[in-house]
Structure 1
């Protein structure tokens, strides 16, 4: 038995000898899915993803200023492309890992109708959105409001979160009766986890293509490439779909 235990220990060491950590900057809307993916990634590969989540616009500034991130999971496709032209992304490493959906959501059940008509009723005091200057979901929300012809009406009611996580927080706590949030924050396995919502038709705003990229600081880290490869697997794609993304 001792000999068997020793053999198992040796095999375990061999399997994990080349395990590494990868520093990942993750868009706020993808924080929940990434938590699940990181856990499964470590189980399947031995590598550990150390995750920081926040607004894509802020990550852009941090990466340009030398932040130690090795992989970027952006909330858009423009930021990774821009970072590549500036020399911060390994050429040809970019790809779309998810296409996000915008949702008008309330923590109250039956508050938001299936067509989002509640926006035009005026029966609410506050509407939360992410900062449109740094968060693609915020920019999408502004585009929807404008397309509905409600910009002037809703402007005084808008409360702005630093990122989509904060916009969701305002709505989830009731500080804002309504919020434009990412579907991934309120959706699991084909239904809303709580409250009520309207999934905004994709043609009402520019597609929210979310690109992943290998940053130059991670070019020589096997765990960084392993994570990007993992996101392309059927297993990872299936997990991403459960949060309401298209892949």
Structure 2
């Protein structure tokens, strides 16, 4: 049976950009998108006949780790991680820009500080250690569990802040022949992280202790993957990024 890549699309970590790239790489029979939560994705995958499942190469959506248990095909995971403070800021301004999102009116009615301090679970679910929660796969954030899942089940983790380099690694690992692409669904109206008050950033940091641990761990793994590239690939990457060091 053919291996399937499962991409955990953590909100506001360049997952929409990845979807645009995937649509250039894989045809409609080779890709599956599930954006109605984990249980829906699990049930739909489990209900897919094996013959059809064998044509699938990429599964993507807003769900937590664990979908491999729904299928018998070999699986490897990929996810993009993002600096936790930057992700939460981007998430808030994304909600304010998107009238169809259930939290749009709430985000529009509250300042950033009031929004992140809200006690409503539906708001905190998108703020409080979300990256660790999804990669833990248990509905609650556990850095140790997320770390174990990455070590045992992930082909790689990319970094939103180093999107082109992340895409470069995926191209090499998956033997893609797709053009490089700019990021999509970027929240244009949001302030830079440096423009947000220190007290707001401190609150976000306090709510994302595990996500900071995960992000630092992901950065170390990402750097290791770059250093493991062969010399020709490293040279190609330096030329592409303009960096003298990886």
Q: Which bin holds the TM-score, normalised by the shorter protein? A: 0.3 to 0.5
Query: TM-score, length-normalised on structure 1?
Result: 0.32
Query: TM-score, length-normalised on structure 2?
Result: 0.32
* Structure having greater relative contact order (Cα 8 Å, sep ≥ 6): 1
Higher helix share: 2
